[in-house]
Structures are given as C-alpha cells and as structure tokens.
Amino acid sequence: MTIRKVSANSFAAIDESHLFARRQNGNATQQLANGSSAVDRQSLAMKATLALLALSVSACSHIDPVALSKEEMRTQAQATLAALEADVDNISGELTLDEALARGLKFNLDRRAKMMEEAIAFQVLDVTQYDMLPRLVAQAGYDWRDSDKLSQSVNADTGKLSESLFISEERSGTISSLTLTWSILDMGVGYYASRQQADRVLIAAERRRKALLLLMQDIRTSY
C-alpha cells in the first residue's frame, strides 16, 4: 500500500487559485453589469428626449383662436382710415359732375374692396393651377436603437441556416428620401378646380363692375 502525503502548502496554493478565479469572475460580472446599466441609462435618456419632443410637437400643433380686443380693433380701424385718407385731395372751388365722378371712383371704399376681392381671386387661381403639376416630396430623419439588429443567412448550396449571427445595420443613422409623383387623378381634380376658380374670377370682376355702376348712379343722383 502506498500512502501519498499532501502538504499544507499544496492546499494553500489551491485555495489561492480558487480565490483568484472567483475575483476574476466577480470583476467580469461587475463590468458586464456596469455596461448594461450604462446602456439602460442611455436608452432611458433617449426615450425621455423623444417623449419631450413628441409633447412639444403636439403642443405646437394645437393653436386656439384669440379674438382681438376692442382697443385693438379701434386702433386698427383708425390706422386704416388714416391710410385711406392720406392721398385724398381737398376740394377747391366749384365741383363739377365729372370731378365728382372721378373722386368717387378714386376714393370710394366699396370699390376698393371689390378690386381687392378680384385681385385675391386672381391669386387663388394661380395657386390652384399648381395642383396640376407633379409633386416633389423630400423627407429626412434620424434612426436610433439600443441594441444591434441581428440576422441569420441561409446557405444557397446546402439550404442550411448558418449558426453565426450577423449585424445587418448600424445602431444609429440618418434616413432621407426624395419622391417625385404625378397622379392623373390629382391632375384632373386640379384642372376642374382651376376652371371653377376661373369662373370665380369672372364673378369677382362682374361684382366690381356692378359696384362701379351703382357708385356712378349714386353720385349722379346726389349731384
């Protein structure tokens, strides 16, 4: 029978090796925990930023109408009357019928309002004609994710799924697009809308002529 003797130094060496291995495992575990906690904090910060941005956009998209006060309307009316009466010439001497007609056509407020309505109708007609043109849409954005997007591929020859995982895209990046579309339906709708607006321009012109004729009749009657 052979008896093997193990010294105390051997047991001490084994214990030290076990302690060292435990310390290494503990340090590795702590590093992984610190890394995961840092990623979690970054993810929470990004989510909070996106939530604040969404709240700010939703707050800006809702605007309540604010009515003008009486003082503001009075001030605006006084400024408008002062601007209208700035170019009015004073009457000197006897006023003939032709001069009365000329002054009425030049300074009458109703006629000016009808002329403004006709000008606005012409501008709206120009805008509606753009609906028949192609539409160019440009978009841009930023994409971010807190983990890698992993994917697996299939071998084309064997048809087997690969055991390795591949990173298909980066965690962060920019998104941009430029789209040109031309719809026949939109062009047809824009064409008929333009024709309707052209009729409104003619209606506004006739209203201006009607106001002009009524004004001349009133001036003759008053004279």
Q: What is the pLDDT of residue 55?
A: 65
* Greater model confidence, 21 or 60: 60
Residue at 85 is within a domain: no
- 59 exposure class (CB count in 10 Å sphere: 0-12, 13-18, 19+): exposed
Angle, CA of 195, 199 and 201, to the nearest 5°: 115
Residue at 70 is within a domain: no
pTM, to two decimals: 0.50
Residue at 91 is within a domain: no
Residue at 122 is within a domain: yes
Residue at 84 is within a domain: no
> Contact 181/137 with Cβ under 8 angstroms?
yes
Q: What is the pLDDT of residue 40?
A: 56
Q: What is the pLDDT of residue 78?
A: 87
**Of the candidates 110, 122, 114, 115, the residue with the CA atom closest to the CA atom of residue 200:** 122
- The total domain count for the chain is 2
| Pair (27, 106) in one structural domain | no
Residue keyed to tokens 């009515």 = 67
Q: What is the pLDDT of residue 106?
A: 80
| Pair (104, 38) in one structural domain | no
Q: What are the tens digits of pLDDT across the range 169-196?
A: 777 878 888 898 888 888 888 889 889 9
Residue at 175 is within a domain: yes
The kind and range of the H/E element at 181 are strand 172-181
Q: What is the pLDDT of residue 147?
A: 79
**Structure tokens belonging to residue 92:** 């000197």
State which residues form the domain around 17.
11-42
Max mean pLDDT range (20-24, 72-76, 104-108, 141-145): 72-76
Residue at 82 is within a domain: no
User: Can you state the angle between helices 184-222 and 109-129, rounded to 10 degrees?
Assistant: 170
Strands 135-144 vs 172-181: parallel, antiparallel or unpaired: antiparallel
| Pair (115, 37) in one structural domain | no
Q: What is the pLDDT of residue 203?
A: 92
Angle, CA of 97, 99 and 103, to the nearest 5°: 120
Q: What is the pLDDT of residue 116?
A: 86
Interatomic CA distance for residues 205 and 56, integer angstroms = 46
pLDDT at 27 over 70: no
Q: What is the pLDDT of residue 13?
A: 41
Give 156's DSSP letter: T
| Pair (118, 201) in one structural domain | yes
Residue at 169 is within a domain: yes
Q: What is the mean pLDDT of the chain?
A: 75
| Pair (109, 19) in one structural domain | no
Q: What are the tens digits of pLDDT across the range 31-66?
A: 444 444 554 566 666 667 776 766 665 655 566 788
Mean pLDDT of 132-142: 85
Q: What are the tens digits of pLDDT across the range 55-112?
A: 665 655 566 788 888 898 999 888 888 877 777 777 777 878 888 888 888 878 788 8
Residue 3 sits at φ, ψ, to 5 deg, of -110, 120
